[in-house]
């Protein structure tokens, strides 16, 4: 049975049983505790937490999930993936244990002809929580499972929570016995390779308190409603029904391995080390493609860092298997072909996905080249010192800075005739993981208590009147202060106000919230901000300036008209810049985020390279030509599929409802899904002036612009500045660029001559330093303060020159400068001095504290900087003492 059919059968089974089919959420949701969606229940959390009333009592979905807790172990086991599909059925106060067990058993054991999976009931085992006698009896009654195939397990295995205070409860897991060839008898307790978990039924009935880990928390009591949350692993069911040995050999994963065999010349199934690399490619390629599809770009932190690691592990695994050419495009194409039937976006957005993945591959191949040079230099030093072990700290730097995994370093070391201090490396890795784990734990916190708003979320969406009017009569539904509902608020208080209707825009879609007023008889309130709760309830954050506001009051809510005018210019201007970018750079230039406010906009978009000055000029010209054309701005509401078929642009990672609002400017010039406020015609935007562009991470760039009067003010300021420069240079404005270029060139020549003169003066001092050399034991030592103003680069040149004048005689040169409030220093030891035991880096450790400095380098040369010039005499004394100690 193919994986796509397994998904479809699951959904059909529960839809026929009365469940509402819910589409998978994006892998990136706005949750402070999650990097990625990692379970099927995540999008339903507000219902389980009681923050919102669900629009249905039962639901079913197949959720995209990513778990990256231990990427290094991917492929080592054959049942885990970083990306997987979690099929689930959910009950919000409807059926409970008996219903969940009956539904699961029917789907698993019904024949294929009857819509089931056709599993042999005799090979299914279940586990229940230690004291869950109720679940045990239901399994016996409803499924006929005998006592010997029902095992009780503790809290760590069979009690579920989100890891933070909130809903929790016992669970019952369903396992399939793969047979004696896969392990020892005795059920899941004996061997979880032979007995494979395929479905977990969570009986969410209690509320947990604070605690750490899976089993170290207090159970506070029962929930108001008993809920069901289940998760069936689609990939695990697939490899069982497809009669293959593991998830990597299923119909959606094995094709990537086959492609890797073609590209590398290696064979899967020959040895375990190579098999792990094949599985890494197959797993990570799928995960990376799904993440990019949902809007993640490679970067140096958070989600972007995870994606970068995945892509780089693909590259190096292919390289270690024998690939001698870039191969990312081939893997991404296979993932598209296999996964698109369930996720059509992989086909429709393929060019963008491919561009991001291939761009990161190219960047990493360059990084690999740089890292290889570092490895070669360090390996040469190790061999020059007569050693055979490549240091663990150096291996860690290669991993942390260049993305070299330890197996790549091991292979390169072996080729160089060296071994690697793996214990030292793994110790440093363990320290890093511990810090990361502690940091992640510190960031976790209980979900914000939004129960105060639940009544209003259930009541329905706040009526937004701001598209048609700036002033609206409304009724005060609630006042909230410090998370507590209050009946009144008086002058001087800052509170939250919930109205039944409002013209004030709540921050969303990159547009910041409106400001305005709430007034009534004797009442004046300043609205500072407006935010949405659950995308339904407008919460006005206000300061009461005069009078008293009371729940139930009839008031007048008004938007600041000048603010709204500027805001609409900024938001419509953003759409114009987006359309212009796509015209100039191509249709794959997709939005990564935006911010617009009165008179200003910024727009982030997917791009691998810096924009040229000509591209920026073209983008600005296209946008302003559209402004001048005075296009009509049309808005209308339609269903999501129709909007997409019309070509409306949507924001990646955003979950849209069945009905969406489309903003169309100039026909197909610009058509986007957008809930923001806009001008009525493009000419009302006014002049758009691009301020420039910059990088905001790998594969993402940002443009910023002023619009309307702010654009005029900016250009007026620039014109005045140009006029001032022209006057100072005594040339017409149009000749300023050429004149400035001449001056810059003359300045460069003068600075170069000055540097040459300075360098000559520094080197002229070398002789006097040689004359001051002291004999310490069997070597010569120059330990002196350089003339004030000599910087680090000149010190290095001077030290190298002095050292060279001593020929083959053991010599050490230590120079400390005093420049711009800092104390640069250089330590140089020739080969003969090193053979006597002197290492430049060791001497830095001896004198560095005296000047508040630190630095490092190789045995022959080390340099750095301190901050305390008063410590120079003490530092030089420390050098002499340390050299004397070494020299005996």
Q: What is the CATH number of the domain that holds 534?
A: 2.40.30.130
Instruction: pLDDT band for 548, please (50, 70, 90 cuts).
Output: very high
**806 φ/ψ angles, rounded to the nearest 5 degrees:** -90, 0
Q: What is the pLDDT at residue 443?
A: 43
In angstroms, the CA 15 to CA 19 distance is 5
Instruction: pLDDT band for 444, please (50, 70, 90 cuts).
Output: very low
Q: What is the pLDDT at residue 655?
A: 64
Last residue of a domain, one of 416, 443, 470: 443
Does residue 407 register a pLDDT over 90? no
Question: Residue 749 falls within a domain, yes or no?
Answer: no
In angstroms, the CA 576 to CA 509 distance is 15
Last residue of a domain, one of 443, 465, 480: 443
* Assigned token pair, 682: 């493009």
Q: What is the pLDDT at residue 676?
A: 93
- Residue 651, domain CATH: 3.30.980.10
Q: How confident is the model over 446-505, as pLDDT tens digits? A: 455 677 888 898 888 999 999 999 999 999 999 999 889 999 999 999 999 999 999 999
Q: Are residues 99 and 161 in the same domain?
A: yes
Sign of CA dihedral 196, 200, 201, 203: positive
Q: Are 796 and 814 in contact (CB under 8 A)?
A: no
Binding site listing for Zn(2+): 571, 575, 674, 678
Q: Are residues 430 and 327 in the same domain?
A: yes
In angstroms, the CA 828 to CA 796 distance is 8
Q: Are 54 and 196 in contact (CB under 8 A)?
A: no
For the segment 407-422, the average pLDDT, to the nearest whole number, is 82
Q: Are residues 245 and 272 in the same domain?
A: no
For the segment 41-63, the average pLDDT, to the nearest whole number, is 89
Q: Are residues 586 and 706 in the same domain?
A: yes
Residues 6+ apart with CB under 8 A from 482: none
Sign of CA dihedral 97, 99, 100, 104: positive
Q: Are residues 52 and 132 in the same domain?
A: yes
CA distances from 373 to 379, 490, 538 (A): 10, 69, 57
Using CA atoms in the order 153, 156, 160, 161, what is the torsion angle rounded to 10 degrees?
A: 160
**804 φ/ψ angles, rounded to the nearest 5 degrees:** -65, -25
For the segment 713-721, the average pLDDT, to the nearest whole number, is 91
Q: What is the pLDDT at residue 375?
A: 87
Q: Are residues 421 and 456 in the same domain?
A: no
For the segment 371-380, the average pLDDT, to the nearest whole number, is 84
In angstroms, the CA 354 to CA 285 distance is 11
- Of 341, 313, 338, whose CA–CA distance to 328 is shortest? 313
Q: How confident is the model over 576-599, as pLDDT tens digits? A: 999 999 999 988 787 888 999 999
Instruction: pLDDT band for 303, please (50, 70, 90 cuts).
Output: confident
Q: What is the pLDDT at residue 385?
A: 80
Q: How confident is the model over 158-217, as pLDDT tens digits? A: 999 877 777 889 999 999 999 999 999 999 999 988 999 999 999 999 888 887 777 778
Instruction: pLDDT band for 770, please (50, 70, 90 cuts).
Output: confident
Question: Residue 615 falls within a domain, yes or no?
Answer: yes
Q: Are residues 408 and 491 in the same domain?
A: no
Q: How confident is the model over 348-366, as pLDDT tens digits? A: 889 889 988 998 898 888 8
In angstroms, the CA 350 to CA 869 distance is 59
Q: Are residues 63 and 161 in the same domain?
A: yes
Question: Residue 617 falls within a domain, yes or no?
Answer: yes
* Assigned token pair, 451: 């129960």
In angstroms, the CA 867 to CA 854 distance is 10
- Residue 848, domain CATH: 3.10.310.40
Give the domain range for residue 814. 765-887
Q: Are residues 412 and 469 in the same domain?
A: no
Question: Residue 439 falls within a domain, yes or no?
Answer: yes
Q: Please report, rounded to a whole number, the percentage of residues in the chain having pLDDT higher than 90.
A: 56
Does residue 630 register a pLDDT over 90? yes
Residues 6+ apart with CB under 8 A from 888: 777
Does residue 52 register a pLDDT over 70? yes
In angstroms, the CA 802 to CA 770 distance is 6
Q: Give the other-Cβ count within 10 Å of 538's Cβ.
A: 25
For the segment 655-670, the average pLDDT, to the nearest whole number, is 86
In angstroms, the CA 479 to CA 499 distance is 9
Higher pLDDT, 133 or 755: 133
Does residue 301 register a pLDDT over 80? no
Question: Residue 724 falls within a domain, yes or no?
Answer: no
Q: Are residues 778 and 854 in the same domain?
A: yes
Instruction: pLDDT band for 654, please (50, 70, 90 cuts).
Output: low
Higher pLDDT, 126 or 798: 126
Q: Are residues 329 and 431 in the same domain?
A: yes
DSSP letters for 142-206: II---GGGEEEE-HHHHEEE-SSSEEEEEEEEEEEE--GGGS-SS-TTT-TTTEEEEEEEEEEEE
pTM of the model: 0.67
In angstroms, the CA 883 to CA 888 distance is 8
Contacts 24+ apart (CB under 8 A), 174-180: 174/104, 174/108, 174/124, 174/125, 174/126, 174/198, 174/199, 174/200, 174/201, 175/124, 175/125, 175/126, 175/127, 176/119, 176/123, 176/124, 176/125, 176/240, 177/123, 177/124, 177/125, 178/240
Last residue of a domain, one of 443, 474, 491: 443
CA distances from 741 to 186, 744, 747, 748 (A): 82, 5, 10, 11
Does residue 70 register a pLDDT over 70? no
Q: Are 234 and 86 in contact (CB under 8 A)?
A: yes
Question: Residue 333 falls within a domain, yes or no?
Answer: yes
Domain count within the chain: 5
For the segment 760-774, the average pLDDT, to the nearest whole number, is 79
Binding site listing: 571, 575, 674, 678
Helices (H), 265-391: 272-293, 302-321, 328-339, 345-348, 350-384
Question: Residue 512 falls within a domain, yes or no?
Answer: yes
Q: What is the pLDDT at residue 856?
A: 66
Q: Are residues 158 and 281 in the same domain?
A: no
Q: Give the other-Cβ count within 10 Å of 470's Cβ.
A: 18
Ranges 7-21, 89-103, 736-750: which has the least confidence: 736-750
β-strand pairing of 548-550 with 501-502? unpaired
Q: What is the pLDDT at residue 777?
A: 85
For the segment 292-309, the average pLDDT, to the nearest whole number, is 85
In terms of Cβ atoms closer than 10 Å to its own Cβ (0-12, 13-18, 19+), residue 257 is buried
CB burial string 601-616: b at 16+ within 10 A, e below: bbbbbbbbeebeeebb
Question: Residue 800 falls within a domain, yes or no?
Answer: yes
Q: Please report, rounded to a whole number, the percentage of residues in the chain having pLDDT higher than 70.
A: 95
Does residue 83 register a pLDDT over 90? yes
Considering the chain, what is the average pLDDT of its residues?
A: 89
């Amino acid at each position: 049975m193919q994986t796509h059919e397994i998904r479809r059968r699951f959904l059909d089974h529960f839809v026929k049983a009365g469940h509402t089919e819910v589409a998978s959420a994006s892998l990136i949701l706005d949750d402070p505790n999650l990097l990625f969606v990692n379970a099927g229940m995540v999008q339903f959390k507000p219902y389980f937490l009681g923050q919102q009333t669900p629009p249905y009592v039962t639901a079913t979905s197949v959720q995209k999930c990513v778990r990256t807790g231990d990427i290094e172990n991917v492929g080592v086991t054959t049942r885990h993936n970083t990306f997987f599909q979690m099929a689930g059925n959910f009950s919000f106060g409807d059926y409970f244990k008996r219903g969940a067990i009956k539904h699961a058993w029917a789907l698993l054991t019904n024949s294929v002809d009857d819509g089931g999976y056709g599993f042999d009931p005799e090979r299914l085992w279940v586990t229940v929580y230690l004291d869950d006698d109720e679940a045990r009896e239901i399994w016996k009654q409803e499924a006929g499972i005998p006592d010997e195939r029902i095992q009780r397990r503790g809290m760590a295995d069979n009690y579920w929570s989100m890891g933070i205070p909130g809903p929790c409860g016992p669970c019952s897991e369903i396992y399939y016995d793969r047979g004696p060839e896969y392990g020892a008898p005795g059920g899941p307790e004996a061997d979880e390779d032979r007995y494979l978990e395929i479905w977990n039924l969570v009986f969410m009935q209690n509320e947990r308190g604070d605690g750490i880990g899976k089993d170290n928390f207090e159970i506070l009591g029962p929930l108001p409603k008993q809920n069901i949350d289940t998760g069936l692993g689609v990939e695990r069911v697939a490899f069982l029904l497809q009669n293959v040995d593991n998830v990597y050999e299923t119909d959606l994963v094995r094709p990537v391995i086959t492609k890797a065999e073609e590209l590398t010349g290696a064979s899967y199934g020959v040895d375990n080390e190579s098999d792990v690399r094949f599985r890494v490619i197959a797993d990570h390629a799928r995960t990376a493609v799904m993440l990019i599809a949902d809007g993640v770009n490679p970067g140096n932190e958070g989600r972007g860092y995870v994606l970068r690691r995945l892509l780089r592990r693909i590259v190096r695994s292919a390289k270690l298997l024998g690939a001698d050419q870039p191969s990312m495009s081939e893997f991404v194409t296979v993932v598209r072909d296999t996964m698109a039937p369930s996720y059509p976006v992989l086909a429709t957005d393929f060019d963008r996905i491919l561009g991001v993945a291939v761009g990161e591959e190219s960047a990493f191949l360059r990084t690999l080249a740089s890292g290889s040079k570092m490895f070669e230099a360090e390996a040469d030093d190790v061999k020059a010192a007569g050693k055979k072990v490549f240091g663990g700290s150096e291996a860690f730097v290669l991993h942390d800075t260049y993305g070299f995994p330890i197996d790549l370093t091991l292979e390169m070391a072996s080729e160089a005739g060296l071994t690697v201090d793996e214990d030292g490396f793994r110790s440093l890795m363990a320290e890093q993981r511990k810090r990361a784990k502690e940091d992640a734990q510190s960031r976790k916190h209980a979900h914000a208590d939004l129960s105060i708003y639940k009544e209003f979320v259930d009541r329905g969406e706040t009526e937004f009147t701001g598209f048609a009017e700036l002033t609206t009569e409304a009724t005060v539904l609630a006042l909230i202060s410090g998370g507590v509902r209050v009946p009144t608020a008086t002058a001087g208080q800052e509170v939250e106000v919930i109205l039944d209707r409002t013209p004030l825009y709540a921050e969303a879609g990159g547009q910041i919230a409106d400001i305005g007023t709430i007034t009534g008889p004797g009442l004046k309130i300043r609205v500072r901000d407006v935010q949405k709760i659950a995308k339904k309830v407008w919460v006005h954050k206000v300061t009461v300036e005069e009078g008293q506001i009371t729940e139930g009051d009839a008031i007048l809510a008004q938007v600041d008209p000048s603010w709204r005018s500027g805001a609409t210019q900024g938001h419509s201007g953003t759409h114009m810049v987006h359309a212009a970018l796509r015209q100039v750079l191509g249709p794959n230039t997709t939005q990564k985020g935006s911010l617009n406010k009165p008179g200003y906009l910024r727009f982030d978009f997917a791009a691998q390279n810096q924009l040229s000055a000509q591209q920026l000029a073209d983008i600005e010209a296209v946008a302003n030509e559209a402004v001048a054309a005075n296009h009509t701005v049309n808005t209308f509401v339609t269903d999501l599929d129709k909007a997409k078929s019309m070509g409306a642009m949507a924001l990646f990672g955003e979950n849209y409802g069945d009905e969406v609002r489309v903003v169309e400017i100039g026909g197909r010039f610009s058509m986007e899904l957008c809930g923001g406020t806009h001008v009525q015609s493009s000419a009302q935007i006014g002049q758009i002036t691009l301020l420039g562009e910059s990088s905001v991470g790998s594969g993402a760039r940002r443009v910023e612009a002023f619009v309307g009067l702010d654009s005029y003010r900016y250009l007026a300021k620039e014109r005045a500045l140009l006029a001032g420069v022209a006057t100072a240079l005594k040339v017409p404005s149009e000749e300023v660029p050429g004149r400035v270029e001449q001056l810059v060139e003359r300045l460069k020549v003068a600075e170069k001559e000055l540097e040459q003169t300075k360098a000559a003066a520094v080197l002229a001092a070398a002789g006097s330093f040689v004359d001051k050399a002291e004999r310490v034991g069997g070597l010569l030592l120059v330990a002196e303060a350089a003339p004030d103003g000599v910087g680090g680069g000149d010190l290095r040149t001077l030290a190298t020159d002095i050292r060279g004048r001593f020929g083959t005689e053991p010599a050490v040169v230590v120079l400390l400068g005093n420049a711009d409030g800092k104390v640069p220093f250089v330590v140089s030891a020739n080969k003969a001095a090193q053979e006597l035991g002197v290492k430049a880096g060791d001497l830095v450790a001896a004198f560095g504290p005296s000047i508040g400095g630190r630095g490092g380098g190789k045995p022959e040369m080390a340099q750095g900087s301190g901050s305390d010039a008063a410590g120079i005499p003490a530092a030089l004394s420390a050098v002499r003492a340390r050299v004397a100690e070494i020299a005996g």
